[in-house]
Amino acid sequence: MTGSIAQRGIKALSGNIAPLTIVAFFAYIVYRFIYRPLCATPLRKIPGPKSFSMTKWPLAFADYKGIRTSRIHSLHQKYGTAVRIGPNEVSFSSLSALRTIYGAGSGFERTTFYRMFDVYGRQNLFTFASTKQHAERKKALANAYSKSVILSPNAIAKPLIEKNVKEYLELLVKEKAVTEEIFQSLHWFSLDSITGFLYGSQFGGTHALTGDQTHRTMLNDIIDHSRRSLSWYAVHLGAYTKWLYTRTGLMERIVTNLGLLPMQKPATYTGIRAHALKSWISFETAVTEKGPAQNLAIMEKLWKYNESSKGTRLDSLDMASELADHFLAGIDTTSDTTMFTIWALSRPENWKYQEKLIEEVDNIPDTDCNQDGYPTVEAADKLPYLDAVLKETLRLYAPLPASEPRSLPVDTTIDGYFIPAGTVCGDMTEMKKWFWAFSSGGRMCIGLHLAMAEMTTLLAAIYREYTTSGYERQKGVSPGITSRFEVFYDETLPKFEEHKCWINFEKRPTSTT
């Protein structure tokens, strides 16, 4: 009797398991995606579309379509200066919020988003979340990037930049048909500049400007348009993307043949990171056997700082990672900005600005030019009109015009809204409106002075020799640059061409050299 009752009870319970499981599943879905994000968080008071508040995927879909920036902008137009764009993400659009999030001493840290920029499995200056880690690493490098060192004739930057400027001007004559597509040729200039600065001529300095095809093709994976697709997968499907790119043997062939890779190998920065690691290993081998030389390259300075450090010392991969990160950061930024400057000055409506710039560079005295007849780094640094042109270009066409997510490890208030600890915040609209090209505070771009020296010196030399104009076939077309998931271009024009910019360089009859 007892056994039969027990058996009936078990049978009845087992018959209810499936319905209970379904009810529990739906209860979880309701709690996870409706109740918790819409009712059980202080962020519920921040305006925004309910679909964005419930899940990250509406914004991820905007990323996939390459319209993140315009989508967030449209949300601000509809909801105001504070918009909830994810279950745990808020976008602000006010100067006060900009200062709160990115200002000096704000305490806001970088999010895990930046970990996709780790190199060789190690974090670096760009990917450290905490301000303490970032500050400690910056101590080892900040002096080498200071303006006084960049302009010093006894340091590596000045002679390197002036050499590369000469080689670029020579290239405009020797390979005119190639270099007039300036997106590519300016990348060669920035490549040779950053590698020479980091690794010196002996261990990793490149020679793309003088025709080394191996060094030129190193940039192919940067130019590849599918890098945007890879960025999307790396951010939104990180574990899956890592699995795809770590397959070997038969599984690698299957993954490749099925077209599952967001970007065919070599993936973005593969060539750069391989070259960077090879350069570091060559240097480390030499310095271990013979001791450090006096080539003034950044890797030697980092090595010496680490050797004399009384705190936690970096291992070999830490230093290699740091240098590789500076390597990739120093290519697109300067080349894209220089490209947009030349392109903007070459438009018919802006020729008056080009003429004024030409007048300024023509007034550089011969005593402020080097033996090749080109303005020195110091002379270019003192040109107020060129400085203004460059800064306006940076304001209009920032080289990294994408979201810069931050979070604070404690609760805070921004523009009157309570923001719980760990909430991802950003302020892209005001960053683009005001001059924020190099960020601010402790996270300000460490390469600011190097980048400005490269751009001002090259532009001063170009406009002492040439006038520039656009190609007729590109009339009404803006050059476009890749930034993570999007292509950025001059939106006042109806069309863009990604990673292409054709410019006519016309020798000036009164050029000074």
* Residue 325: its H or E element: helix 316-346
Residue 439 has pLDDT above 80, yes or no: no
- Nearest residue to 228 via CA among 467, 338, 65: 65
Structure tokens at 1: 């009797």
pLDDT at 24 over 90: no
Pairing of strands 424-426, 417-419: unpaired
- Whole-angstrom distance, CA of residue 449 vs CA of residue 393: 16
> Per-domain residue ranges for the chain?
41-117+400-436, 118-224+268-399+437-507
Average pLDDT over residues 445-466: 94
For the segment 426-452, the average pLDDT, to the nearest whole number, is: 69
Residue-wise pLDDT for 87-131, tens only, equals 999 999 998 998 899 887 888 888 888 888 889 989 998 888 888
pTM of the model: 0.89
The fold of 118-224+268-399+437-507 is: Cytochrome p450 (1.10.630)
The burial of 340, by beta-carbon neighbours within 10 Å (0-12 exposed, 13-18 middle, 19 or more buried), is given as buried
- The stretch 230-241 carries a mean pLDDT of 92
For range 390-403, the mean pLDDT: 83
- Evaluate if residue 1 carries a pLDDT over 60: no
Q: Of all residues in the chain, what percent carry a pLDDT higher than 70?
A: 91
Binding residues for heme: 445
Render pLDDT for 261-286 as a digit per residue (tens, 0 to 9). 999 888 888 889 999 999 999 999 98
Q: What is the mean pLDDT of residues 389-394?
A: 93
Our CA angle for 337, 390, 348, nearest 5°, is 85
Structure tokens at 43: 């962020």
- Average pLDDT, stretch 169-193? 95
pLDDT of residue 148: 93
Q: For 49-67, what is each residue's pLDDT tens digit?
A: 999 999 999 999 999 999 9
C-alpha span between 279 and 222 (Å, rounded)? 20
Binding residues: 445
